[in-house]
Each structure stands twice: as structure tokens, then as C-alpha cells.
Amino acid sequence: MFSAARFCVGAALLTVAVAPAVHAQSIGSSKPQYGTWGFDIAGEDKSTKRGDDFFRFANGAWLDRTQIPPDKPGVSLRLQMTDRTEARLHDLMEQAAAKASLPSNLEGEMGAFYKAFMDEDRVEQLGAKPIAPELDAVRAAKTRDALAGLMGRNNSDFEPALFNFYIDIDLKNPKQYAVLLSQGGLGLPDRDYYLKPDFAAAKGKYESYVGELLKLIGWPDPNASARRVVAFETEIAKASWTKAQQRDPVATYNPITVAQLEKLTPSFAWKAFLANADLSKVRRMIVAEKSAFPKLAAIYAKTPIPTLQAWAAFHIADNAAPYLSKAFTDTYFEMHDKTLSGQQQQKVRWKRAVYAVGGGDFGVGDRFGTFGTLGFGVGQLYTAKYFPAEAKAKIEALVANLKAAYRKRIEKLDWMSPATKKEALKKLDTYNIKVGYPDRPRDYSKLVITDDDLVGDVRRAGAADWAFYTGRLFGPVDRSDWSMTPQTNDAYNGSLRDIVFPAGILQAPIFDANADPAINYGAVGGVIGHEMTHGFDDQGRQIDADGRLRDWWTKSDAEQFKARAARLGAQYSQFQPLPGVHVNGDLTMGENIADLGGLTLALDAYHASLNGKPAPVIDGLTGDQRVFLGWAQAWRGKVTDDYVKKQVVSDPHSPRQFRVNGVVRNIDAWYPSFDVKPGEKLYVAPDQRVHIW
């Protein structure tokens, strides 16, 4: 369950599936995907005032006529991009599976893995048997130390852990990797689900779910055990930091030796844990939520061993459920997809197979990332067929223009001192922009995949994934690395001072080689700008040009920045996606700053791209209008109410309508472009608008 720290543009939604109608964007066609110049005017709602709700103005007719499919928690143009990729991956996997032979190369491995997932009869026949080794180990672990040891297998098998661990660069020594430890142990998406009355219903369903899974694996006294498991997790939730607290890179950087860690959490068997994680040689680690650690260890020490065993057994079944028989997958769907995301129908099997094999955006559930998949290998096969070289060149040119626009903005900032500006520009120059797919493919040649052992395939792929990270732990940092698969419909700004745009996000409406440039500037330009400004947001600004966690801002610059950020946060905290449900301005701070910066830079870069000539008017719309519409169309979509409730507590991105409305109202050029007047709902007086970049 490895997951790298990163700041991204926001996945379309992590559990998605195909709508056959959008299968068809053909490669090499010369017509844009939407409308005649890249924007679908028919999707606008002209009866909505632009100054009241710009998101709805740009997208309302489409929103009204588009239903959320029952097998998804939402619908959007971004999701349709994922659908397109999914259909292509499906073709690739079907073709690979049809070539009957033992897997001797990457394509063969992909085909065998897919076939193993599709072999429903065998999966059905096996029931819970494939996870017997993990469950037997839990039954045999009769001490807390033995159970702590099993947790060390969290990144290489299905076991849960009270403390999550992963490997990323050491932020105060960015030429080296470090083992990072953070709070874990919860099965629901956030501590709020255990502690806030709004989530009482979901928590109740979770308890039933724990009981059902325990029953399916033949655990004694499943309902009483479930009650104790959820009570244990509730104690963990109370001791856990909030998601907003976890965003502070200084507070979460606490280097510690193994001996110090043992002292901080005396009742926890770290040596057994580290040995099973293949980290015995590690002497120094970095702890994130340091003050929570002794509390978590104390809760662990006082919890009866049978409860801890039931907890471990439940999580093993939960993590493995997508690969087990129908009884498991149905129960899993009811909890994770229906209750927590509002998705009404389970996806058909081939779609789940594509996710299981493909990883990343195509991982089963959002806890998986590339764990237990062939994610990067599938990406290699995908981009070879579906990512044209000219798209890469066009994006690289856009990136260069955005970078130049940012440089100019920083040079002109009235609130930043020359010393800080110098460092900021230095940092901007060191950014490594990665487009499409990694230069160096991941090697899967030693991985054993067979077409008759699905759980074994996942287990071995998970172990191979973790071995990849532990294998380089003591070596030099690889700046060419990617932590998102090429087929992923997302982008990120990573700890390697890199900005990464996988092939999966470089599709219409985010990027359309045949669209009017203003639309592309508004959409992909806004996304590129978004990722660039992450390097300078409330988190990123604490990292210097060498990738080191260091305060390089003068005190007054930092105060100016924080004051502006706080004003933006206050605006967002006012937004209510549902009556009484507020956006968390602190949790979403970094993403909101990035959205505002991103569209600001995109507009500048578009102006610069005109080389002094006036922008063409198309269908009566000016260049600036089309840039704003391009951004608004990129976020066209809607999700279920349950998904919104989950999003506001667990996702650092604001709900989509505010990613449009919250941004445009702070950009001066939007007002004359759409004749927005005082009194309209989004109107902000000029001196109240927040300008950061």
C-alpha cells in the first residue's frame, strides 16, 4: 500500500469505469473532440448569470442532461478521459490474454494477470483460501510483538499496519532517500468518520462490514469482534492528527533513530516490524505525526490480543477482497463504493480487471496506487501505442511558455523582497518537467505472473514493487523517477522538484491538439501552471532550489504570503457544496493557491503566445473569454452527495465548482471579460481580490 507524498491536480475520481459512447476519439483526427474549436457551447446554461455562478454558466446544460451512471460515483469530462484510456487498456489486455503462452515478456505478463482476474470460476471456487497464509500467520501470532512483526509486511502483502511507512527523498538531505513513518491503522477514509456525528451512519455500516468480512473468513464471534475492532480504530482516530495538520512539512519532519523510536513508543516491537519490512539495516527514519506515535503505541499496548488479531484479519480480507470470490467483492463494493462514494452499481468484471492489472488511476480502490499491479509496465505498452510524439513536443512548448510567464510574475511581485525572489527564480529553473512516460522503464522481468493464481500475482507484484523501493534506499536519488503511472489521468509536483504530466491526462478537454490555443491554455495551461505554483504554495515554499526543507523566505515575505493565503482560505471556507457542508479552507489551501496561480499564469502565457497580435475572436468570443471557458470546461462534471461528503474531509482539492468559481472571481481580467457587476454572487471588490502570483 505504498504511496508517495505528492501534490497533484486531483484525480478525476479514483474509481471509474467506461461509458462506451466515448470510446472513439481517434488518434490522428484533425477535428477537436468538443465543439468546432474545442469548447462545447451546447453545454452552457445561458440562463445563469456568469457573475453568479460561472461554473454553471459554462457547464449547466450539460450538467442538467447528464446522469451519473450507476457504476460510478460521478460523471465528468475528466472521467470520460479515463473511460477512453480504460477502453484502450482493455483492448491491449484482451489481445495479450488471447496469445496463449507462458508469460515470457511484459505483454505476456499483462495477459496472464488479466486472464487470472477474468477466471471467475476459479476465483469463485477458491473462496477465502488464497489468503489462508496471511490469516494463519495472524492466528499464530499470539503476542503483540509477533503482531507488530506482521505489520512490517504492509507494503509487500495484504497486512495492515498501525504505522504506515514508505520511502521517499529525505527533505533535509535531498540527495538521499529515507524511510518515512506516519500514523495508520484506520479503515475509514479519515478520523472524522469515527468522531463526527455527520458520519455516524457510515461508521455503523463499517462495523457491519467488518463483521461480514470476519464471518466470510470464518473468524470466531464476528459481530462482537467487529465491535471491538471499530472501538480500537476509534481510539486510534482520536489520537491521530487531522489531514490539515499533516500538511505542515516542518511539523511532520522529525528524524529519529531506531533506539529513539523504541523509547518514544516503548511497547511497540520495531525490530520485528523493520525486519519484516526488509528495513533491518535502517538506522534513522523520519516520523511525521510525532506526538501521535506514543498515543498509538499506548492504545496498542492496552488492546487485548484477540482484538488486534481480529483487526489484522479483517484488514487482510478487506485489502484482498477485490481479488476474492463474489461474496467478498459484493460486500467490498457495498462499503467502499456504495456507502462511502455513493456509487450505485458495481463495475463489470473486465473493468475491475483493467484496474487490478493497470494500477495508478487504474488501481482497485484508492489505497492501492501501483501496489500489487503491473502499473508501470502497462503504461509502457499503453504509451507505445497511444501517445503520439507530437503531443509530447506540443506540451513541452506550452510548459516553456508557462515557465516564462511565471518568471515574469515573480520578478514583478510587489510583496516579495529581492532576496526571496532570487531564490524563487533559482528554484523555478531547477524544475524538471516530465511528459508522457518515464525515460527509463521499470523492469518486471523477474516477477512471476501466472494465469491461475490471481491473489498470488497480486502478492508477488506487491512484493516486487516494495523491493524496487527498498532496493535503492541506500543508493543515489534517481531524479528521473515517476510516482504516477503513464496511463494516470492526473499530474503532480513531486519531491524530486519535478512536474509530471502522464499521457493519461493529455487528452481532450485537458489537451486537444486540434483545439483553439486559448482553450488549451485555459485547460492544460492552467494545469501546468497549477503544478508549477505548487512548488511555492504553503507547503512547497518551504522547500528550496536544492529540494531541501529550509526556510528561504524573509520574515516579512512569509507574512505577506500567509496573509494572502489566509484571505483565500476564508473565501473557500464560505463555500458550501451541500447545505451545511463547508469546504475546509485549510485542508484545500495548497490546491486552491495552485488553481488560482495556475489560471493566472495560463492567461499570461496565452497573451505572450500571441506575440503582440490581437487574439482572434471566435463565435463572438474573445481570447480571454475562451481561456476562462477552457478552464471551466476542464472541470465539467458532478459527483454524488456521498462522494462530496467524503471529499470535503479527505481530499485536499476543493469540489469542482469551486475550482472554477473560487478562482475566476480573484482574477481581474475575468470581470471585464464577462461583464461581471457588483451585487452578483461571485463579485469580489477589487481591493478584496486575492492575488498571490
* Interface with Zn ion (CB under 5 A): 7, 9, 591, 594
Give the residue with the Cβ less far from Zn ion, 13 or 214: 13
Q: Strand 432-436 relative to strand 498-502: parallel, antiparallel, unpaired?
A: parallel
Contact 416, 536 (CB under 8 A): no
Report, in Å, the least distance between residue 323 CB and Zn ion: 31
Question: How many angstroms separate the CA atoms of 562 and 268, rounded?
Answer: 39
Give the residue with the Cβ less far from Zn ion, 171 or 594: 594
Give the residue with the Cβ less far from Zn ion, 7 or 241: 7
Nearest residue to 97 via CA among 79, 82, 119, 76: 119
Report, in Å, the least distance between residue 595 CB and Zn ion: 8
Give the residue with the Cβ less far from Zn ion, 490 or 516: 490
Give the residue with the Cβ less far from Zn ion, 373 or 654: 654
Contact 4, 468 (CB under 8 A): no
Question: How many angstroms separate the CA atoms of 406 and 396, rounded?
Answer: 15
**What is the grid cell recorded at 463?**
512484493
Report, in Å, the least distance between residue 535 CB and Zn ion: 11
Give the residue with the Cβ less far from Zn ion, 168 or 591: 591
Give the residue with the Cβ less far from Zn ion, 9 or 308: 9
Count Cβ atoms within 10 A of the Cβ of residue 130 and give its class: 0-12 exposed, 13-18 middle, 19 or more buried. Answer: buried
Question: How many angstroms separate the CA atoms of 246 and 253, rounded?
Answer: 10
Report, in Å, the least distance between residue 523 CB and Zn ion: 15
Count Cβ atoms within 10 A of the Cβ of residue 145 and give its class: 0-12 exposed, 13-18 middle, 19 or more buried. Answer: middle
Question: How many angstroms separate the CA atoms of 595 and 527, rounded?
Answer: 8
Report, in Å, the least distance between residue 568 CB and Zn ion: 14
Task: Report the length, in residues, of the chain.
Answer: 693
Report, in Å, the least distance between residue 37 CB and Zn ion: 28
Ranges of H-type helices in 240-374:
258-264, 270-276, 292-302, 305-320, 326-332, 349-358
Report, in Å, the least distance between residue 613 CB and Zn ion: 33
The dihedral region occupied by 160, where left means phi > 0, alpha psi between -120 and 50, and beta the remainder, is beta
- CB within 8 Å of 80: residues ≥ 6 apart: 19, 22
Report, in Å, the least distance between residue 685 CB and Zn ion: 28
Contact 34, 508 (CB under 8 A): yes
Report, in Å, the least distance between residue 602 CB and Zn ion: 14
Question: How many angstroms separate the CA atoms of 14 and 4, rounded?
Answer: 16
R_g over Cα of the chain: 25
Give the residue with the Cβ less far from Zn ion, 287 or 532: 532
Report, in Å, the least distance between residue 663 CB and Zn ion: 13
Report, in Å, the least distance between residue 527 CB and Zn ion: 9
Report, in Å, the least distance between residue 25 CB and Zn ion: 25
Prior bond of 509 cis (ω within 30°): yes
Give the residue with the Cβ less far from Zn ion, 169 or 532: 532
Q: What is the 8-class DSSP label of residue 505? A: G
- CB within 8 Å of 82: residues ≥ 6 apart: 12, 13, 16, 361, 489, 504
Phi, psi at residue 612, to the nearest 5°? 85, -10
Give the residue with the Cβ less far from Zn ion, 339 or 666: 666
Contact 484, 500 (CB under 8 A): yes
Point out which residues pair with 285 in neighbouring strands: 179, 256
Report, in Å, the least distance between residue 594 CB and Zn ion: 5
Q: What is the 8-class DSSP label of residue 362? A: B
Give the residue with the Cβ less far from Zn ion, 352 or 497: 497
Contact 485, 361 (CB under 8 A): yes
Give the residue with the Cβ less far from Zn ion, 228 or 656: 656
Q: What is the 8-class DSSP label of residue 655? A: P
- Residue 479 C-alpha from the chain's centroid: 20
3-state secondary structure of 476: coil
- CB within 8 Å of 323: residues ≥ 6 apart: 117, 123, 130, 356, 364, 454, 455, 458
Give the residue with the Cβ less far from Zn ion, 387 or 492: 492
